[in-house]
Amino acid sequence: MKNQWNIDELEAQFTLLPPEIEWLDAKAKAYNRLAQAVMLKYFQQEGRFPEETQDVPATVLDFIAQQLEIDPTTVNEYQWDGRTARDYKRGIREMYGFRANSVADQDELRDWLIAEVLPDEHRHDHLAQLAYGRLRQLHIEPPT
């Protein structure tokens, strides 16, 4: 995810819509609710989830926190690899028709890269973008 966002981009990409706000766990602690919203908007943008707070640009985190009236620093208490995170990820995947990545998916992606991409492309960053794009097209969450 890019690090610099202007206000127009933030509003277009990271504004929480009323159905999204309703979907958030209203009974959750503030840091869980904020992390849930961040995971939702990050997934919409990237087709994958952040692995830690540092994956989310500060401007994006602040913008989402402001909408929820939550102090953005509370997200530092969130366990990105905990049970609650797994539950939120499962719910977001279901909402968008995605599924978790399997070993078979990784094998198929490797075969696709070898057959279709590597003959013409060798730049690591571009290969990663193509792989993420392919998985997003197939509605498969990328491996961590």
What whole-number percentage of the chain has pLDDT above 90? 78
Q: What is the DSSP letter of 99?
A: B
When pLDDT is averaged across residues 117-122 and rounded to a whole number, the result is 85
**How many helices (H) and strands (E) are present in the chain, helices listed first?**
7, 0
Under DSSP, the state recorded for 28 is S
- What does each C-alpha distance from 38 to 16, 86, 108, 141 come to in angstroms? 10, 14, 30, 16
pLDDT of 104 reads 94
CA neighbor of 109 nearest in space, from 136, 82, 83: 136
pLDDT tens for each residue of 39-86? 999 999 998 999 999 999 999 999 999 999 999 999 999 999 999 999
Spatial separation of the C-alpha atoms in residues 29 and 66, rounded to whole Å: 16
The reported pLDDT for the residue numbered 6 is 95
Distance CA 70, CA 68 (A): 5
Query: Rounded mean pLDDT of 130-144?
Result: 90
C-beta of residue 14 within 8 angstroms of C-beta of residue 58: no
